[in-house]
Structure 1
């Protein structure tokens, strides 16, 4: 039996930094997988803008760098020297990726540069634009019907919300908290309190409230995906992982102080089974 073809550099980058959605992308038509990997790598760079920055202003400068890279590609300027920016510019010039989708993802990430996320509405808006925007961009690459794009956005946002909750301990180690200030206030907490110590009982209560909202968001999205063709199902498959994550977090006994468990066989099988059946 012949060895499988090696991954392209951009696919290897996506698998390393976003293994969840990379697994989902494997259920897309072969000719679209590198473009999906490019979107995943781009999304990772946007997420890193705040992760590696020492302050919010530095994060905004990094996001502006990407905004200018997309705008220059749109204008036909030479691509910037970067392992993601160069292929991204080529995809924009070729019409494979829509600049407005990419710019929307950048704009949504600006909320992470703020000191706090003020409200649940603000958190949801950020997630609809970032993780939800990524799902929409993936759907466009896979020729998802326009009627399904709102559903993909909701499913993508639910996956993003599950990620925020799963990563609460890791963010606290960086001195950060993305849980909304208004919800934490109902538990007598501030985002700074959670960043200092996520073991507060109120942190878990707030997370369970958000998990329930995430489950409702997931139901909303799935209800709008009835016309999603099999070839576009990869854009919706992260919802399978979101459903499992949100159910764990909503269950009694979940602790925001413990790092999330690594992905197990059950998680991978849930994606594989849905992808094989072509069901979102």
Structure 2
């Protein structure tokens, strides 16, 4: 595993550090062997999530998403895989892993091209499941967890994805996107409370139950405390202050 400057893994780590600081911190808290899986996956997520926003032309954005879809198809075929600083280490990390959840992640990003809000709460939750959930399942399986067990983390992945999405609401609105099917404070509080109810209470216990593969769950360390903020103070979403103090953030990451 080569994390030296100039290597593909180093490039992936830089992409994640710039584009997804919380996942970067989670990966850095994991064993080096796990980072070789997590950084390519998280870099893939950054690149795919960025694709709908780097151009005003929907057709070009769809072409970018299709490029990643095709790259995953090459991995699934077991033949030629294009040379790329993210694709190459991602193919190594996902050797023998079903890439269908990641292809569903790409397909779900089509929703970001539509500036209209999600039709309803179910559509929003489906989007969250396919984006964050697909990454989490792939990471667990690539680190050795059985696929049927990996699917059990989807509720906590959904809660973490909701937090990240709500944190992005002010920026999405500034870009002309109507992000929420119902943005009223009482609806947001109810949405957050529902996610808290379905999530396991102890992330640390869940992570330990997965053994070495549990490193993939460190990215969810801030989900519960931030959902609790939304549940009691939903106005924090529209006002762009959905965050923890630096002390609480570090403490949650440590415990996670």
**TM-score exceeds 0.5:** yes
Instruction: Determine if contact 2:226/2:242 at 8 Å carries over to the other structure.
Output: no
For 1:74 and 1:140, locate their aligned partners in 2 and report how far apart those are by CA, in whole Å. 15
Distance, in Å, in 2 between the alignment partners of 1:103 and 1:48 is 15
User: What is residue 64 of structure 2 aligned with on the other side?
Assistant: 62
Residues 192 and 231, structure 2, Cα contact 8 Å, conserved in 1 = yes
Could you tell me which residue of structure 1 aligns to residue 80 of structure 2? 77
Distance 1:62 1:116, change over 3 A: farther
Residue in 1 that maps onto 2:250:
268
In the aligned structure 1, how far is the partner of 2:32 from the partner of 2:96? 15
Q: Is the 8 A contact 2:206 2:214 kept in 1?
A: no
Contact 2:41–2:135 (CA under 8 A) maintained in structure 1: yes
Partners of 2:195 and 2:25 lie apart in 1 by: 22
Aligned length: 247
2:23 to 21, 24, 33: 21
Aligned match of 1:232: 213
- State the match for 2:198 in structure 1: 217
Structure 1 position 57, deviation (Å) = 4.2
CA-CA distance at 1:262 after TM superposition? 5.7
Q: Residue 23 of structure 1: SS of its match in structure 2?
A: helix
Would the alpha carbon gap of residues 78 and 131 (structure 1) be closer, same or farther in structure 2, given more than 3 Å must change?
closer
Residue in 2 aligned with 1:199?
Answer: none
Q: Conserved in 2, the CA contact under 8 Å of 1:27 and 1:233?
A: no
Match of 1:171 in 2: 172
Does structure 2 conserve the Cα–Cα contact (< 8 Å) formed by 1:79 and 1:89?
no
Query: SS of 2:221's equivalent?
Result: helix
Is the 8 Å Cα contact of residues 186 and 234 (structure 2) preserved in structure 1? Answer: no
- Show CA shifts across 1:182-231 (max 9, x none): xx2xxxxxxxxxxxxxxxxx533332222122213324996x94883231
CA shift for structure 1 position 64: 1.1
Alignment CA distance shift 1:267-1:226 (3 Å): closer
1:203 aligns with 2:184: yes
Aligned residue in 2 for 1:102:
102
Going from structure 1 to structure 2, the CA distance change for 1:108 and 1:31 (only over 3 Å counts) comes to: same
Distance 2:201 2:55 in 1: 35
Give structure 2 stretches of 5+ with no counterpart.
none
Worse-matched range after superposition: 203-212 or 82-91? 82-91
**Deviation of the 1:56 alpha carbon:** 4.3
The answer for unaligned runs of 5 or more in structure 1 is 185-201, 275-280
Question: Structure 2 length as normaliser, TM-score?
Answer: 0.83
**How many angstroms does 1:157 deviate by?**
1.5
Please state how far the C-alpha of 1:131 moved relative to its aligned partner. Answer: 0.3
CA separation of 1:101 and 1:257: change in aligned 2, threshold 3 A: closer
TM-score for both structures, normalised by structure 1: 0.77
Contact 1:203–1:256 (Cα < 8 Å) also in 2? no
Q: How does 1:105-144 map onto structure 2 within 5 Å?
A: 105-114=105-114, 115-144=116-145
Q: CA RMSD in A?
A: 2.9
Check whether the contact 1:150–1:221 (CA below 8 A) recurs between aligned residues: no
CA displacement 1:147-205 (0-9 Å, x = unmatched): 4312322211211111111111111111113212xxx2xxxxxxxxxxxxxxxxx5333
Q: Distance in 2 between matches of 1:109 and 1:12?
A: 23
